[in-house]
Amino acid sequence: MTGLVAFTVLVALVGVERVAELVVSVRNAAWSRERGGVESGLGHFPFMVVLHTALLVGALAEAWVRRPDVPPVLAWSMLLLVIASQGLRWWCIATLGRRWNTRVIVVPGLPPVRSGPYRWLRHPNYVAVVVEGVALPLVHGAWITAVVFTVLNAGLLAVRIRVEDAALAALPVGNEAARA
């Protein structure tokens, strides 16, 4: 039971982190719009919100209903991956600064971001999302949630990355937008 309570606290902390992201995102989206930013991909955004909320709810529900025995090596290794994914996510947010938000908003005239994790990866925040989507539920053996989220998220990311890349490609060469 102690592990289950600790897992509940972990998921609640991730939920609080999501609220902090939303506060930053709303502020940054307003900043982008004030500078002529144009939003793309409105159709998939509600599904993204529901899917990410369902990850947290599903992981908790599965853990509390199934009450799996979780090998400590699985719990601790997945917790380390959750922490690493949070670190990568906030590195992305810090690197993009005011450009970062949870939507696809491009601001004409801004130079490309080529620092931080964007030196090596085109979409590092999505790497963080994928890792967290697997690791967070598996901290407490919620493998059904991990699989369902991963499959649905793969479809969502296929759409999201296509929308984002198209929005960026529409800008004149040398411009780039905020990436979520």
Instruction: For each of the domains in the chain, give its residue range(s) and CATH number, in order of start.
Output: 2-169 (1.20.120.1630)
Instruction: Please state the three-class secondary structure of the chain as a single string.
Output: CHHHHHHHHHHHHHHHHHHHHHHHHHHHHHHHHHCCCEEECCCCHHHHHHHHHHHHHHHHHHHHHHCCCCCHHHHHHHHHHHHHHHHHHHHHHHHHHHHCCCCEEECCCCCCCCCHHHHCCCCHHHHHHHHHHHHHHHCCCCHHHHHHHHHHHHHHHHHHHHHHHHHHHCCCCCCCCCCC
- The tens digit of pLDDT for each residue in 122-172 reads 999 999 999 999 999 999 999 999 999 999 999 999 999 999 999 888 876
Give pLDDT tens digits for 70-80. Answer: 999 999 999 99
**pLDDT given for residue 175 in this prediction:** 42
